[in-house]
Structure 1
């Protein structure tokens, strides 16, 4: 983190990224001294409510973070920033999004956890738009112009007030990741969770040990579960936060984990926690073998909607095919239950050296009607495109061992999964048959 003192002393000349979080109530004009180099500006975690009208003087600015501030309106000056492609104003108090505030090269817009009731039609006139994060607002409709955003791959509209999913949304040719849970009129949670028999586990039976990780939705710790007269069992405990994440509500994630049930490629849920002293919601899950590792890292600021693999990541043909079969199988399982994962990505997959894999992180999961309809088929085929992208990433990293005819068949499957005609894509059942 940089300091205001360094900026004012001229010690940051030539930097490409500036991070300032120091209780700012006004935009420091000294930032303009960095106009010849500054590309990424992070002013999150301050008390700002406006930006200067001449922000466009930062002629190289590509990425702007202003989350956790006090903005009530998306600043109109952003629209004058010629190179600005990523804009993040999460967790402010934004009610208005003026058309003038949308930069021409907009690729990635984050307006999660605000008070927005309406978006301008101008949003759909940003042809580079690829990632749109709108969870935790008050939207009742989406701009119809978004139907023209043929590059849009990821949209988060969970926890709003939407009455329906627009037909055009389900036909977007590139859409691969969608989260819409928590819109009351779209919520099929009760239908999917009917007859839920998940056991409850008393907090007093759990002894927390080391922390394993922390994400936007909660904290995961290793623990011992005392189950007399049986011996204590090592488990993982996830305690959910109450705050809104970029995907939606953490409690929806918990319901999705429970609804997903048992499958060899899912992390088993042992039970729901009861009696936490602070009333915190949580799950007890099986403890994963430490030999499992993440398949890839999260997308970067540059890759936007594509995961980042290590340069040295390579797979044998058997390993890659085993992973592809496992994820296709769990995809078919979830869709039969009326559940779309919403975030089917390599960074949410754990794998080992033999190709065993586990799909995790249900933060973006959404429940659809368990009955077959054009809408449910479209939602499922949107997720199939995400699988097609994953399959392509696996095929790119195979170190030989595939027969040419097998490789050709897999490449053809990958193309069918990612074709622009949503309903012409195969379902996961057909994909499993092909991979078998």
Structure 2
């Protein structure tokens, strides 16, 4: 994090990224001294409510973060920034999104946790739009003009006021990751699964070291003193109350429970009860430390695609085992009326043998279990996510794959990712193809 004193003293000359979080109420004019080099500007965590009309003087600016400020309107000056591709205004108090605020090269827009009721049709006139984060607003509809965004791959519309998913949304040729939980349109979680989940008293848990923290909660290793006297090592996830980019953490908890048992899903042991702060949480299977994440989160440059380590390579058998495990888990979820919504390499844990677990239900949504055109389309969006993953695995196989087998798998990848949503195979067919390899 940089300081205002450094900026004013000219110590930051020539930098390409500036991070300032120091209670700012006005945009520091000295930022314009960086106009020849500045590409990423992060002003999150301040008290700003406006930006200068001549922001376009930052001619190289590609990325702007202004989350956790006091904006009530997305600033119109953004639309004049010719190089700007990514905008993040999460957790402000934004009500209005003027068409003039949308730059021509817009690729990634984050407006999570605001008060937005409508969006301009001009949003559909941004052909590079690839990632759209709108969870936690007051939207009752999406602009039909978005049907023209043929590059749109990820959209988060959870926790709004939508009463239906527009038909055009489910026909977008590139849409891959969709989260819509917490809207009136969503089917209810399986109440019987929730009611049948054991309650585990907080007093029976002894937290040890923290294992990780994400947007929705904190995961810790713990010892669970069972009723039979045994002490079982487990993982405890305590959920935060805040809105995440995917939606509500409590919807994530419901999806984890409703998913049920599957060898490629992390097992839920029970729900926490009697927490002293009434915090919601789950007790889950403790994952063996030999497991690691398949990939890292997308970067600013990759936008909607995961980042893999340079030395990430697999044998054909290991890659195929990963693909089979993920496809089987996804098929199981669909049978329970759940779309994962975030089927990505960074949400897959695996060991050296290719044993894998699909985790992170933060973007999961419920749908009807009957076979309708809508449920079929929702499931085929997830099939495209699998196709992307399969392509990433195929690109990293270094041994054991004949030209014939590669041809079959590349054809499967192509069919999973084809533009015609309903022409994509279902996961039962995907599993059948993989089983023959």
Q: TM-score range by the shorter chain?
A: over 0.9
SS in 2 for 1:146: helix
State the match for 1:135 in structure 2: 135
| Aligned counterparts of 1:361 and 1:108: Cα–Cα separation in 2 | 22
Bigger Cα displacement from structure 2, 395-404 vs 78-87: 395-404
1:251 matched residue in structure 2: 250
Q: Distance in 1 between matches of 2:182 and 2:215?
A: 17
State whether residues 207 and 223 of structure 2, in contact with CA within 8 Å, keep that contact through their aligned partners in structure 1.
yes
Equivalence for 2:204: 205
Instruction: Name the CA distance, whole Å, in 2 between partners of 1:228 and 1:56.
Output: 64
Partner SS state of residue 170, structure 1: helix
Aligned to 1:230: 229
Partner of 1:89: 89
Q: Which residue of 1 aligns with 2:119?
A: 119
Instruction: Give 3-state SS (helix, strand or coil) of 1:307's partner.
Output: coil
Cα-to-partner distance string for 1:34-59 (whole Å, 9 max, x where unaligned): 00000000000000000000000000
Equivalent residue number for residue 78 of structure 1: 78
In structure 1, distance between residues paired with 2:358 and 2:193: 24
Correspondence for 2:100:
100
- What does residue 20 of structure 2 align with? 20
Aligned to 2:336: 337
For 1:380 and 1:155, locate their aligned partners in 2 and report how far apart those are by CA, in whole Å. Answer: 15
1:407 corresponds to: 406
Q: CA deviation at 1:142?
A: 0.3
Match of 2:70, SS state, is coil
Task: Work out the CA distance in 2 between the residues paired with 1:228 and 1:237.
Answer: 18
Shift, 1:284, TM fit? 0.1
CA contact (8 A) 2:193 2:257 kept: no
- Partner of 2:301 in structure 1? 302
Between the aligned partners of 1:296 and 1:396, the Cα distance in structure 2 is 13
Helix, strand or coil for the counterpart of 1:399?
strand
- Shift in Å at residue 254 of structure 1? 0.1
Distance in 1 (alpha carbons) for counterparts of 2:20 and 2:171: 41
Equivalence for 1:267: 266
Q: Which structure 1 residue ranges, 5 or more long, are not aligned?
A: none
**1:194 equivalent among 186, 189, 192:** 192
CA drift of 1:195 comes to 4.7
Shift of residue 194, structure 1, vs aligned partner: 3.3
Matched residues in 1 for 2:193 and 2:131: separation?
Answer: 36
Local SS of the residue matching 1:270: strand
**Which residue of the partner structure matches residue 429 of structure 1?**
428
Contact kept? 2:193, 2:258, Cα under 8 Å? no
1:194 & 1:143 partners in 2: Cα distance?
A: 37
Structure 2, unpaired ranges of 5+: none
Distance 2:323 2:375 in 1: 23
Distance between the aligned counterparts of 1:195 and 1:283, measured in 2?
14
| SS of structure 2 residue aligned to 1:391 | helix
Q: Which residue matches 2:65?
A: 65
CA distance in 2, matches of 1:193, 1:60: 52
TM-score (norm 1): 0.99
Instruction: Find the aligned partners of 1:397 and 1:94 in 2 and give their Cα distance.
Output: 43
Query: How far apart, CA to CA, are the structure 1 residues paired with 2:361 and 2:222?
Result: 21
Residue by residue over 1:373-419, the C-alpha shift from the partner in whole angstroms, topping out at 9 and shown as x without a partner, is 00000000000000000000000000121121111100000000000
2:296–2:346 CA contact under 8 A, matched in 1: yes
Name the structure 1 match of 2:220: 221
Normalising by structure 2, we get a TM-score of 0.99
- Report deviation, 1:113: 0.0
Distance 1:208 1:129 in 2: 43
Match of 1:393 in 2: 392
* Total equivalences in the alignment: 434
* 1:289 Cα deviation after fit: 0.1
Partner of 1:32: 32
Residue in structure 2 matched with residue 240 of structure 1 by the alignment: 239
